[in-house]
Chain A
Amino acid sequence: MPNKIMCRMGDGERVWLPAEQIKEDILRGTRDAAERAKIPELTEEECERLFDIMADPSKVVSVSPGEEVIVTDDAVSMLFYADQENSGQGIPMSRTQSLLAYERACAADTISMGHTDYSFKQVKPIINYETQEYYNASQMTTAPFFYGSQPNMGLYFQPDGPYPNPAELLPQGKISEALEAQEIAMEHLSADLIYIGKEMNGVGCEGLNFDTAASAGDADFKATLQAVEKLKALAPGMSIIVGMSSEFVMGMHGDITYKGKRLAGIYPHEQVKVVEEAGADIFGPAINVNTSESIPWNLARAVTFVKETVAVAGIPVHPNVGMGVCGVPMFEVPPVDAVTRASKSLVQIGKADGL
């Protein structure tokens, strides 16, 4: 493919694009992010730097020595023993063995565990099993050790939970009922998050990861923020990460506020400020991937959002680089060329504190 550069689409498909198109995609991507969030575009120099990373002929790219950052994760050690539903390899290993293998064989900066279902609601009835597993493992692990799970307020609505489902009420025009259901579920979720956090702190939990926050919208996000605030007061020695589910908070309710800030529709550079105000220690923005656009377009958007978020943040920012976020293709076996380009771009141009 003379005069063309190997690249990827947002769904992972390999394509060969002319240099001019990659440059154009980078420009369109950064402009899209800037217009949506009303933040600065990448500079001409940064766009050129991003193009250089995209055009690097090496399959795997990396940062320079001294530029490395911290990597946190969402129970990656689970992948050793989990099945395809969790992108796992199905190796017959215990959770503790997986944690130690991840720490020592993969040389992870931090490690984490979580319940296979990975939602706090599912953890509550088995909290004793989880605290026991965490406690036993924490005596053997050396790297910082998180317990992670998702707030996932959707599980509190029928048929999975006790409250009427807003997604069914809204199309019926039952607006006030839909709002009320979310407000009740929000308080229930918040209480559960606090309960589980307190239990984990009781066994010396080093860190708690509220992963994929706001997946059910603004009420889900507020439940998380309330829990962070309460837990940092009750358990200041337990570090807290808040990782997001998408680049903006969906206004499923619309009128939810936290300390006077309306949560619906806020972007990462605004999300980090409320997360910071709640008392969290690390923030993880998640920038959506458009599978129909190229990785240069997607990555330019992600880097634009992340750069502004890091610039305004008073706490470390670790962009999420799982499948389908922050410039990583939406594919369960993400191509290593695309993953390393996302990693390098977010660190060198986005100035991320970690990933």
Chain B
Amino acid sequence: MASAMGGIRTAGDLVAWMQMTRKMKIDEAKTYVADKLGVELIALTDEEIMRQVREDLDIGIITSVSGSAKGIAAKWKIAELLDIDINSVNHFRAKVGI
């Protein structure tokens, strides 16, 4: 909690995907995600900004809203947004034949 980014409350999951899929160090990963989201670096951990950004992009939000993307649907959209391959999403795509 003292140093974490905040997961799906902010943009922590998005930055983590870049470390996992592209081996990016923290500064590079944050810059990449901020560019994709079109926000300033400092906004990545700002709940007041990221709550709306995530809702607008429908990539999963920390509070539960019926009908909004979560789970594999959210990860599908995150993979497209960040232009990365997510293993679970690729597996799901294969199952549905896309």
A residues bordering B, Cβ < 8 Å? 60-63, 65-72, 103-104, 106-110, 138-145, 201, 203-207, 235, 237-239, 281-282, 313-316, 339-340, 343-344, 347, 352-355
Chain A residues near B5 (CB-CB < 8 A): 68-71, 109
22 A-B residue pairings within 8 Å (CB atoms): A65-B45, A68-B45, A70-B15, A70-B29, A71-B5, A103-B7, A107-B4, A107-B6, A107-B7, A108-B4, A109-B7, A110-B7, A142-B71, A142-B74, A142-B78, A205-B88, A206-B86, A207-B20, A282-B19, A340-B1, A353-B29, A354-B19
Q: Which residue of B lies closest to A317 (CB)?
A: B25
Contact A71 B88 (CB under 8 A): no
Contact A354 B26 (CB under 8 A): yes
Q: Which residue of A lies closest to B89 (CB)?
A: A204
Contact B2 A142 (CB under 8 A): no
Contact of A138 among B16, B19, B46, B88 (CB under 8 A): B88
Contact A103 B8 (CB under 8 A): yes
Per the bound structure, the CA–CA distance linking A63 and B2 in Å amounts to 7
Contact of B20 among A62, A104, A144 (CB under 8 A): A144
Q: Which residue of B lies closest to A143 (CB)?
A: B13
Contact B2 A344 (CB under 8 A): yes
Per the bound structure, the CA–CA distance linking A104 and B61 in Å amounts to 9
Chain A residues near B46 (CB-CB < 8 A): 65
Contact A316 B3 (CB under 8 A): no
B residues bordering A, Cβ < 8 Å? 1-10, 12-13, 15-17, 19-21, 23-26, 29, 41-42, 45-46, 59-60, 62, 64, 70-72, 74-75, 78, 85-92
Contact A69 B4 (CB under 8 A): yes
Contact of A70 among B9, B19, B59, B62 (CB under 8 A): B19
Per the bound structure, the CA–CA distance linking A37 and B37 in Å amounts to 42
Q: Which residue of B lies closest to A282 (CB)?
A: B19
Per the bound structure, the CA–CA distance linking A65 and B3 in Å amounts to 9
Secondary structure at the B interface, as helix, strand, loop or mixed, is helix
Contact A69 B71 (CB under 8 A): no
How near does chain A come to B9, taking the closest CB pair, in angstroms?
4
Given A65-B46, A142-B60, A144-B20, 18 further pairs, Cβ under 8 A: A62-B2, A65-B45, A70-B4, A103-B7, A107-B4, A107-B6, A107-B7, A140-B70, A142-B71, A205-B88, A206-B86, A206-B87, A206-B88, A239-B87, A282-B19, A316-B26, A344-B2, A353-B19
Q: Which residue of B lies closest to A138 (CB)?
A: B88
Per the bound structure, the CA–CA distance linking A281 and B87 in Å amounts to 14
Instruction: Select the residue from A70, A139, A354 with max chain B CB neighbours within 10 A.
Output: A70
Contact B16 A344 (CB under 8 A): no
Are A142 and B13 CB-contacts (below 8 A) given A107-B62, A344-B2, A344-B3? yes
Are A204 and B91 CB-contacts (below 8 A) given A69-B4, A139-B72, A140-B70? yes
Chain B residues near A138 (CB-CB < 8 A): 72, 88
Chain A residues near B24 (CB-CB < 8 A): 316
